[in-house]
Amino acid sequence: MAFASNSDHQHYEVAVRRSRIDGFGVFAAEGIPAAAKIGALTGETITVAEARRRAEGRQRLMLVEISASRAIDATRSSDPMRFTNHGCCPNARLQVEGGEIEFFALREISVGEELTVDYGSSHHEGRLACRCGSAACAGWL
In this structure, the number of other CB atoms found within 10 A of the CB of residue 141 comes to 23
CA angle 104, 109, 110 (to 5 degrees): 155
pLDDT digits (tens, 9 = 90+) for 61-94: 788 889 999 999 999 999 999 999 999 999 999 9
DSSP letter, residue 136: T
Number of structural domains the chain divides into = 1
Q: Is residue 80 part of a domain?
A: yes
Indicate if the pLDDT at residue 36 is higher than 70: yes
Expressed as residue numbers, the domain containing 112 is: 2-117
Q: Is residue 138 part of a domain?
A: no
| Cβ-based burial of 131 (10 A; exposed 0-12, middle 13-18, buried ≥19) | middle
pTM score, two decimals?
0.86
Per-residue pLDDT at 31? 98
Domain of 14: which CATH number?
A: 2.170.270.10
Q: Is residue 136 part of a domain?
A: no
Per-residue pLDDT at 5? 46
